[in-house]
Structure 1
Amino acid sequence: MRERGAGGEAGQRAVDALAAEASAKAIRGVAPEAPSPGFAAIDWSKPWFAPFAARGQRWQQAALTGYADLLAEMNADAAQMRQTTGRGQRLAFIAQDDLPSGAAYEAHIASTGCVPTRHNLHDFFNGSMWFAFPRIKAALNARQSAALDALGVGPTRGGVRDMLTLFDENALLFACADPALSAALRGFDWQTLLVGRRDAWGRSCEVRCFGHALLEKLITPFKGCTGHAWIVDVPAAYFEWDAAARDAWLDEAVSAALLGIDALTSRLFAPLPVLGIPGWWPGNESPAFYDDAAVFRAGRRKR
């Protein structure tokens, strides 16, 4: 069911078809589809959403208008950015129903460049990451499609694909210039990381949300919401750069790691409760916030 080498043509067909559909509806006076529940609930002032707000607000308005409008907005950005997927195919977004029957999702993206997308928050945030961290998304897609080529779809994903899926769905990028802070995260030393060295946040370490399922959960944040932190060692100068330069550096470094590490396992992550990140939740201004052992656990290494 794969159409290798057809990504650019398929992407342009998707854009043209969506534009034609939107125009036809306008001419006929057809009312837009009812918005998917949740789009209106995105609060772009929240620190986990704020880095993606510029594009996200445009997409949000399109999503509230209708499914075709969202796909058209996403494809307009894709055409301008000329982004590619894991095997160099031009990125485009298609309706979920356009995924051929029996086709594997990641393999279809790799071979055609077309990302099947539903009218929901989960796929909205997934699409956002193709622009926020394009190299990371392409690296994940390349590894996933290579694993599918080698092992097929099968009843289970296997260890490597499980890890890649976990990254895609739930990862946090923990950028850190101080090895002591990275060690505290790996060692579940919450008092050092989040209380004693609180002043280091923004100067020696910071977090970017990446996982699209995690972003979806953070529409209605709760204390136990935990991401899988991927620790990225950054130079001290990193914290002197603007946000765009930081994101570009992370995109390059993390994508290279994902493509270069043979033994990808979930042990490479460190759990990090999102609402415990300094500055991300008003309640964590009090040190007592971190006394909740059900959330800030001692962890397997302590046990």
Structure 2
Amino acid sequence: MDYLEGRKRLLGSKFCEDIKIHLSNLNSSNWPTCQELNRLVAQQSAPIVNSNGADINFVPQLERPKVFEAGFEQRTFLTGEVQVRPQNWHDLLNALVWLLFPRSKAALNARHFAVLQNDAARGRSPQGDALTIFDEDGVIVVSRNPGLTRLLRDFKWVEIFYESRGEVMQDMSFSIFGHALLEKSMNPYVGMTGKALILEHPVGEIVACSVLSTAFIDAELSQMIPNRELFSSGRNFSPLPMLGLPGCWEGNEQLEFFLNDSYFRPQNSGKKAWE
């Protein structure tokens, strides 16, 4: 998809409110350059660094890496350089997620690097799969309502997104972390599914999920990413049918929308989750 059309769709999307402030600060007519992305990095209130303390610097990816150290995650971990392919939505959105959730991206990159070192001779492990799944399709769900959290974990789609619609809008927030999922949101479709990581908070601890800052979420998430058990398998993330989120998709105010059990699948259906 060309830049103008993709930018227009993202700015009009209800799925990616968080990304809009950074996207609106980029060139409105031509593909952003690495220099423009680095200008946004410099404008942030705190330095954006990797887990080694090296400044994050976006650089063009001009050729495929030929040695281990030049791989995408390896180069980011060792030098702070994040490679961006020219005129590529996938890589541009990855860069914007670095601006939104810098601490979490740094923590995830460190985990990627450690796992890649171990997997180099044996092939990708379940832990490596889990890290990649969340990096590509992850959604951060903040919940201050244990009942809603339980409904989400139990695949009770009608009960949570139709019958409890108002409560969800007050007591839960949904922030896309995965840059592949952001790319999919430019052209949403029945079947579009995120992989949810749920951050639970008591009611008195936060006023309302709708007013949480990305900095708050980033700080919370960055503390969870080093948890080896949590990121040991992609099965640890809850499937999240994105078109069911209240206010994000026309038609999801109707009960009939949620009766499509090919999309809103029951738990233990035996079917593979939508991608």
TM-score, normalization by structure 1:
0.80
Q: Is the 8 A contact 2:173 2:209 kept in 1?
A: no
RMSD (CA atoms): 2.3
**Paired position in structure 2 for 1:86:** 51
Quickly say closer, same or farther: Cα 1:302–1:97, change in 2 above 3 A.
closer
> Is 1:142 paired with 2:110?
yes
Structure 2 stretches of 5 or more lacking a match?
none
2:237 partner letter: F
How far residue 127 of structure 1 moved from its aligned partner, in angstroms, is: 0.5
How is 1:26-37 mapped onto 2 (pairs within 5 angstroms)?
A: none
Q: Is the 8 A contact 2:195 2:239 kept in 1?
A: yes
Give the SS at the match of 1:271. Answer: strand
Q: Greater RCO between the two (CA within 8 Å, min separation 6)?
A: 2
Give the SS at the match of 1:43. Answer: helix
Structure 1 stretches of 5 or more lacking a match?
1-34
Q: 1:75 aligns with which of 18, 34, 38?
A: 38
Q: 1:96 aligns with which of 50, 61, 66?
A: 61
Matched residues, number: 263
How far residue 218 of structure 1 moved from its aligned partner, in angstroms, is: 1.0
**Paired position in structure 2 for 1:127:** 95
Please give the alpha-carbon distance, in whole angstroms, between the structure 2 residues aligned to 1:302 and 1:100.
Answer: 39
Quickly say closer, same or farther: Cα 1:238–1:44, change in 2 above 3 A.
farther
> Is 1:46 paired with 2:23?
no
Q: 2:148 aligns with which of 172, 177, 181?
A: 181
How far residue 302 of structure 1 moved from its aligned partner, in angstroms, is: 9.0
Q: Is the 8 A contact 1:169 1:214 kept in 2?
A: yes
Please give the alpha-carbon distance, in whole angstroms, between the structure 1 residues aligned to 2:160 and 2:26.
Answer: 35
Please give the alpha-carbon distance, in whole angstroms, between the structure 2 residues aligned to 1:55 and 1:49.
Answer: 11
Point out the more displaced range, 154-163 or 133-142. 154-163
**Paired position in structure 1 for 2:180:** 213
Please give the alpha-carbon distance, in whole angstroms, between the structure 1 residues aligned to 2:257 and 2:42.
Answer: 46
Q: 1:268 aligns with which of 225, 236, 242?
A: 236
Quickly say closer, same or farther: Cα 1:202–1:60, change in 2 above 3 A.
farther
Quickly say closer, same or farther: Cα 1:70–1:152, change in 2 above 3 A.
same
Point out the more displaced range, 213-222 or 97-106. 97-106
Q: Is the 8 A contact 1:84 1:90 kept in 2?
A: yes
Q: Is the 8 A contact 1:98 1:116 kept in 2?
A: no
Question: Which of these two proteins has the greater Rg computed from alpha carbons?
Answer: 1
Please give the alpha-carbon distance, in whole angstroms, between the structure 2 residues aligned to 1:241 and 1:175.
Answer: 7
Please give the alpha-carbon distance, in whole angstroms, between the structure 2 residues aligned to 1:38 and 1:77.
Answer: 22
1:42 partner letter: R
How far residue 97 of structure 1 moved from its aligned partner, in angstroms, is: 1.4
1:122 partner letter: H
Q: Is the 8 A contact 1:99 1:116 kept in 2?
A: no
Q: Is the 8 A contact 2:142 2:173 kept in 1?
A: yes
Quickly say closer, same or farther: Cα 1:114–1:227, change in 2 above 3 A.
same
**Paired position in structure 1 for 2:200:** 233
Give the SS at the match of 2:58. Answer: strand
**Paired position in structure 2 for 1:22:** none
Give the SS at the match of 2:11. Answer: coil
1:79 partner letter: A
How far residue 262 of structure 1 moved from its aligned partner, in angstroms, is: 3.9
Please give the alpha-carbon distance, in whole angstroms, between the structure 2 residues aligned to 1:155 and 1:41.
Answer: 43
**Paired position in structure 2 for 1:113:** 80
1:273 partner letter: P
How far residue 38 of structure 1 moved from its aligned partner, in angstroms, is: 5.1
